[in-house]
Structure 1
Amino acid sequence: MKIANMLTRINFRDIGQIPLPDGRRFKPGLLYRSAVLQRLNQEDRNTIDNLGIRTVVDLRSIQEQERKPGKLPGQNRVSLPCNIDQRTRERLKPLLFRRNSNESIIAVMDNVYAEMVDLMMKPMAALIHLILNPNNLPMIIHCRAGKDRTGFAAAMIQRLMGAELKPVFDDYLRSNLFMKTQIRQGQWKLRLITAGLMPKGNLQAAFEVRREFLQTAFDYIDEKYKGVEGYFLAAGISKENIQELTTILTEPA
């Protein structure tokens, strides 16, 4: 199976590939993250088929799902929408064609991550309850590009299981390997359509992931909920649920 090849094509990887402290590790092959499952070649389809996926969780808004429904028949599909896409586009649109607006674009995305914390609370609680049923595993979690909503969800699960910040950030930033191709293709198309009016760096500022975005989310969580566990407790996930989740997702190294 060539999962590594799918990172740059659809931002696909195992959420549990990062280390854990205290002599434990994630069980491999239970939780995967991805961009929208639309542009799959036959090799991708074969790889996903061989993973035995039982559940596909879609974090996109209902409007996004209707525009581009997923293309993986057979799996249990669960919609847990986080409706942040429209407001993000509305804020970014006037900045994309403005010169010297990189810092403003980055500030918009930073604010998006702060807002996403509360917007993702219900989807995250529902996601945890899905994972607590082993019959739903293995599972793919995805949004549109697999970087913001999915990146947040993956990081929160990793942190809840005790992962240290550095490997969590490193895994989050791997989405830029996928986005590099998307940005390059998008810049070429948009500059062609707009006769070169869009400054080159604006699309990159809007669509790449940055450590400070995820840090903003964690800082907000620390301030409002006193940490990741406090966030999940506020979402209705009990300490017993968290212990059960730990048993399901991790094992002695």
Structure 2
Amino acid sequence: MNAVRKELNLRDLGNIPTRTGRKIKEGLFYRSSGLNKFNEQDLEIVKAMGLKKIIDLRSKEERMKSPDPDLGVPIIYFDSYRAKYMDDINFGFDGMLRKGKEGLHQQELRVKYYENMPFGNPYLKKAMELIQEDNVPFLFHCASGKDRTGVMAIVILGLFEVEQEKMIEDYLLTNLYRKSIIDQAFSERASLLQEYPELKGPLLETFGVKSEMGLAIISSILNRYGGFDQYYEQEFGIDAELRKTLIERYTEK
């Protein structure tokens, strides 16, 4: 995957260690930005992965505007799914960089949005089904491969008992992969940030990710269920015995 342009945010969840000293096997779970951004050379590398499924986390409007290229791989999406708070948030540049009380209100809504993403989410349920069915490898993506994709990555990593610290490390890798994009965004808005330094956080959130969001996702699971065991059993029907089987199947020493 080194030949793929880094800003595409394509990476394998393989080799991430678990709390028991094992690691996730390579070549099974991939995350990325929208495949519509991939050029022919990039797509040839994706084709060589032998994907069985692609999960497109974008909205119907996003997909219609910028559809995935046809790679001969079934694409999973749910047109009817609207995450809680989604329709109350302006994810456009104007909305993300609002100032004052309205800006704070939008930030609060975004936190609530990501805190609710792990629950009643058909995309996450489908990913868990694919894992149980051994229907891998699969790739999941949204537009930039950072927020919605980051939620799914955290849930997959948690299934295999990856430590919270390692979940956040993977979440924050987006800032390394998209560094050139983030640096350009900050450079172009240097005068704005000098006048309104409080916009640095929202600007980073627009083009990259903030650890606070990743931590909010994890905390929401623990606050609602008290632990990951209860979360996987209640949300996806994966009890302790099945989870142990999946860990044995998809991780190695």
In which range does the TM-score fall when normalised by the shorter chain? 0.7 to 0.9
In structure 2, the CA distance between the partners of 1:247 and 1:62, relative to structure 1 (3 Å rule), is farther
RMSD: 3.2
Rounded to whole Å, the distance in 2 between the matches of 1:7 and 1:119 is 34
SS at match of 2:89: helix
- 2:90 aligned partner: 89
TM superposition shift of 1:90: 5.9
Deviates more, 1:82-91 or 1:202-211: 82-91
Match of 2:32 in 1: 34
Question: What whole-Å deviation, never above 9, does each CA across 1:121-148 have from its counterpart, x for those lacking one?
Answer: x3212211012222x3111011111111
Deviations 1:26-45 (A, max 9, x none): 11101100111012123312
Distance 1:83 1:76, change over 3 A: same
CA, structure 1 residues 11+119, in 2 after alignment: closer, same or farther (shift >3 Å)? farther
Deviation readout 1:86-105 (Å, 9 max, x if unpaired) = 44326974452537988666
SS in 2 for 1:18: coil
The residue number in structure 2 matching 1:194 is none
Structure 2 alignment gaps of length 5 or more: none
Q: Corresponding residue for 2:13?
A: 15
Give 1:148's aligned residue.
147
Q: Summarize the alignment of residues 171-182 of structure 1 with structure 2, pairs less than 5 Å apart.
A: 171-182=170-181
Measure how far apart 1:187 and its partner are. 6.6
Aligned residue for 1:124, secondary structure, equals helix
Give the equivalent residue in structure 2 for 1:242: 243
Deviation at residue 250 of structure 1 after TM alignment: 1.3
- Quick one: which amino acid aligns to residue 63 of structure 1? E
Contact persistence 1:109–1:206 (CA under 8 A): no
Q: Structure 1 91/38 Cα, relative in aligned 2: closer, same or farther at 3 Å? A: closer
Q: Distance in 2 between matches of 1:30 and 1:80?
A: 22
Shift of 1:174: 0.4
Paired residue for 1:61?
59
Alpha-carbon shift at residue 222 of structure 1 (Å): 1.0
Indicate how the Cα distance of structure 1 residues 242 and 87 shifts in structure 2: closer, same or farther if over 3 A, else same.
farther
Measure, in 1, the Cα distance between the counterparts of 2:35 and 2:188: 22
Partner amino acid, structure 2, of 1:24 = R
After the TM superposition, which of the residue ranges 178-187 and 60-69 deviates more from structure 2? 178-187
Cα distance in 1 for residues equivalent to 2:196 and 2:43:
36
Deviation at 1:106, TM superposition (A): 4.7
Counterparts of 2:78 and 2:95 in 1: how far apart (Å)? 29
| Percent of paired sites with the same residue | 27
How many pairs are equivalent? 244
**1:10 positional shift:** 1.0
